[in-house]
Amino acid sequence: MTKLKCSFYLLWFFLLSSSISLTLATSDYILFTKSRWIVNKKGHRVKLACANWPSHLKPVVAEGLSKQPMDSISKSIRDMGFNCVRFTWPLELMTNDTLAFNVTVRQSFERYGLNQDLDGIHNHNPSIVDIPLINAFQAVVYSLGRHDVMVILDNHKTVPGWCCSNNDPDAFFGDPKFDPDQWILGLRKMATIFQNVKNVVGMSLRNELRGAKEDPKDWYKYMQKGAEAVHTSNPNVLVILSGLDFDADLSFLKNHQVNLSFKNKLVFELHWYAFTNDAPWKSNNVNDFCAHMFAHERRNGGFLLEKGFPLFLSEFGTDLRGGDFQGNRYMNCMLAWAAEKDIDWAVWALTGDYYLREGKRNVVEAYGMLDSNWHDARNSSYLQRLSVIQPPHKGPGLRHNHHKKIFHPLTGLCIVRKSLCHDSELVLGPCTKEEPWSYNHHGTLMIKTHKSICVEGGKVAGEVVKLGKECSKIERISASKMHLSLKDKNGSLLCLDVDSKNNVVWSLCKCLTGDATCEPESQWFQIF
C-alpha cells in the first residue's frame, strides 16, 4: 500500500509542475540595478531571459513579418518562456532621416527585389506596408508591449546589414562609418523616441566593438559619453555596455571602473559562442576545456558579478539541428555556467529566417528559436534546456533560494525524487520542481525534509541511485567539478549518470581528463 502511494507521487508532481505557470511577471517595467541584480521598483529581482530579434539588416524591418502577424510572433516569444527581446537597430535609422521617415516598408522591400516577402507582409501585417521604417520599428515594440515582453534596444551597427567582421567600416569609434558624435546623436534620438514606452527597459549602446582601432582608452571616453547621453534623454532605461573583441572581453574593467554621473542603471554585456576566441573545443578533453573556459569567462567578464555589477550574456547560441560538434560541446558547458551564475541573458536568436542576409534571400537561421515559418519551435529539446535558465533562482525578493538544484545540462532536467518514500530512487525531472537539496562540505548530498535523507553509496556500476539514511561522501571531481563521484568497494570511481529512461544511475566515471574524443556530458551535473 505504502509503495503504491509512493509511486503515484511521481505522476502527481509532473501534473503539478506542468500546471504551475512560469509567468515572469513584468508589469512593473522600470528596472534598476542592486549590486549584481536587476530589480524592479520594489527591489525584487527581474531576470532578463531574452531572445535577439534582428531588425538591423538591409531592409531595416524586423525579420519574420512576411511569415506571421507581429502579435503572433510576440505571443510565441512569451509562449517559449522568454520575457524580453534584444531588438537590434542600425544607427542610420536614427541619423538618416530619409531612411527613417521617407522610406516605407514597401519601398524598402521593392528596392532589394524582395517582392515575395512584400506579399507576405501584405498578408500578415498589412498595417505596416505603407508606413515609414521608423514607424514599423515602433509598431513591433508596441506589439511586444501588448504581450508583456520587455525590450532592450540594441544599436547593432551603423550601416544596415549583417554583422560583424574585423574589417567592417563601423567596427570601432573613429572608423569611416562610426563617427562618435553621430552615434551619440542617434542614441539620444532613440532614447527619446521610446521615453514613454513602458516595456522598453534598456539600451544596449553598441554591439561587438572590434577591429584594428579598438582601444580601452577610447572605450571609456566614448562609452561614458554615450551612457550619459542615453541617461539624460531617457533616465528610465538600463544602460548596457558591451566590451571589446566582439564583446568577448571586459577584462579591462578589472582595475578601472567607468565614471558615470548616475547610479543603479549600469549593466555590462558579454557574448560567448563556441567560436569565441577560436576556442578549440574539438581538440581538447571536454571536461578540462570546459573548466578552462569557466576560468576564461570569469576573467573576461564574470568577475563583474563579484564586483557587484549585473552581467548580461546578451549573445550565445549554437546550431539547433544538433550537427555542430564543437557547438554541442560548448553548449553543455555554457549552460552549466549560465545556470550556476544565474545570469541574465539573450539567446541568438529568435529568427526563423532572414529576408536578405549577405546577398542571399530567405536564409535560415540555424541558431534560431523559431522555424522558418516563424510559428513552430525549431527544436523543442533545445527550448527545454533553455527553460532551466529562464526563471530566476536566487536574488532579492525570491523564496526558496537556499535550496540547491542538481542540473543536468545535456537534457535540461534536474535530479528529483521518483517518489516521496525515504528510499526513493532518483530520476531526471523538471527543474521547476522545488526539491530541497543541499550539498555540504562533507560531500553529503541531502534532501532536507523533516527527516533528512541523502544519496547512498555502497553501489556498483549500473545500479539506480537511491536515497537513504547512510550518507556517502559525494565529491565533485574532475576539472569542471561536474562529475559527482564516490568510490565503490573495490576503489573504482563511480559517477552519477543517466540511463536511456532518465533514471539516475551509477556508472564508471568517464572522460575525466586527457582524451579529446570522449564525451563526458551524460555525467555532468551542476549543483547551483
The single-letter code of the amino acid at 163 is C
Does position 259 bind ligand NAG by CB under 6 A?
A: yes
**CB of 102 or CB of 440, closer to ligand NAG:** 102
The least distance separating ligand NAG from the CB of residue 132, rounded to whole angstroms, comes to: 10
Does position 102 bind ligand NAG by CB under 6 A?
A: yes
How many CB atoms within 10 Å of residue 212? Answer: 10
**Strand ranges for 166-284 from DSSP E:** 200-204, 238-242, 266-271
Select the residue interacting with ligand NAG from 11, 20, 212, 460 (CB under 6 A). 460
Site map (CB under 6 A) of ligand NAG, residues 130-169, x = contact:
----------------------------------------
Site map (CB under 6 A) of ligand NAG, residues 320-339, x = contact:
xxx-----------------
The least distance separating ligand NAG from the CB of residue 385, rounded to whole angstroms, comes to: 8
Select the residue interacting with ligand NAG from 115, 127, 195, 381 (CB under 6 A). 381
**CB of 97 or CB of 110, closer to ligand NAG:** 97
**CB of 26 or CB of 108, closer to ligand NAG:** 108
By CB atoms closer than 10 A (0-12, 13-18, 19+), residue 181 is exposed
**CB of 400 or CB of 489, closer to ligand NAG:** 489
Residues 21-50 that bind ligand NAG (CB under 6 A): none
Per residue, the 3-state secondary structure of 306-346, as one string, reads HCCCCEEEEECCCCCCCCCHHHHHHHHHHHHHHHHHCCEEE
Select the residue interacting with ligand NAG from 263, 399, 402, 489 (CB under 6 A). 489
Piece of the chain touching ligand NAG by CB under 6 A; list 13-21, 294-302, 483-491, 496-504: 483-491
Piece of the chain touching ligand NAG by CB under 6 A; list 19-27, 28-36, 201-209, 379-387: 379-387
Name the phi and psi angles at 17, rounded to 5: -70, -25
By CB atoms closer than 10 A (0-12, 13-18, 19+), residue 11 is exposed
The least distance separating ligand NAG from the CB of residue 397, rounded to whole angstroms, comes to: 32
Regarding beta strands 32-34 and 37-39, do their DSSP bridges make them parallel or antiparallel, or are they unpaired? antiparallel
The least distance separating ligand NAG from the CB of residue 410, rounded to whole angstroms, comes to: 9
**CB of 103 or CB of 421, closer to ligand NAG:** 103
| Cα maximum dimension of the chain | 78
The single-letter code of the amino acid at 364 is V
The least distance separating ligand NAG from the CB of residue 158, rounded to whole angstroms, comes to: 10
How many CB atoms within 10 Å of residue 440? Answer: 10
Residues 301-320 that bind ligand NAG (CB under 6 A): 320
Count of chain residues binding ligand NAG (CB under 6 A)? 18
**CB of 142 or CB of 252, closer to ligand NAG:** 252
Q: What is d(CA 413, CA 410) in angstroms, rounded to the nearest whole number?
A: 8
Does position 379 bind ligand NAG by CB under 6 A?
A: yes
Does position 255 bind ligand NAG by CB under 6 A?
A: no
**CB of 96 or CB of 419, closer to ligand NAG:** 96
Q: What stretches of 212-344 show up as alpha helix (H) in DSSP? A: 216-233, 286-297, 303-306, 325-341
Per residue, the 3-state secondary structure of 108-131, as one string, reads HHHHCCCHHHHHHHHHHCHHHCCC
Does position 71 bind ligand NAG by CB under 6 A?
A: no
| Cis status of the peptide bond prior to 349, with omega within 30 of 0 | yes
**CB of 64 or CB of 160, closer to ligand NAG:** 160
Helix axes 180-193, 216-233, angle to 10 degrees: 30
Regarding beta strands 453-455 and 445-447, do their DSSP bridges make them parallel or antiparallel, or are they unpaired? antiparallel
Does position 506 bind ligand NAG by CB under 6 A?
A: no
Does position 99 bind ligand NAG by CB under 6 A?
A: yes
Report whether 409 contacts 332 (CB < 8 A).
yes
The least distance separating ligand NAG from the CB of residue 1, rounded to whole angstroms, comes to: 34
**CB of 2 or CB of 259, closer to ligand NAG:** 259
Q: Which residue has the cell 544538433?
A: 322
Residue 159 Cα to chain centre, angstroms: 26
Does position 500 bind ligand NAG by CB under 6 A?
A: no
**CB of 289 or CB of 382, closer to ligand NAG:** 382
Does position 98 bind ligand NAG by CB under 6 A?
A: yes
Instruction: Compute the CA torsion angle 431, 434, 440, 442 (nearest 10 deg).
Output: -80
Report whether 506 contacts 495 (CB < 8 A).
yes
**CB of 93 or CB of 512, closer to ligand NAG:** 93
Q: Which residue has the cell 547551483?
A: 528
- Please report, as ranges, the residues that interact with ligand NAG according to CB under 6 A: 96-99, 101-103, 259, 320-322, 379, 381-382, 460, 488-490
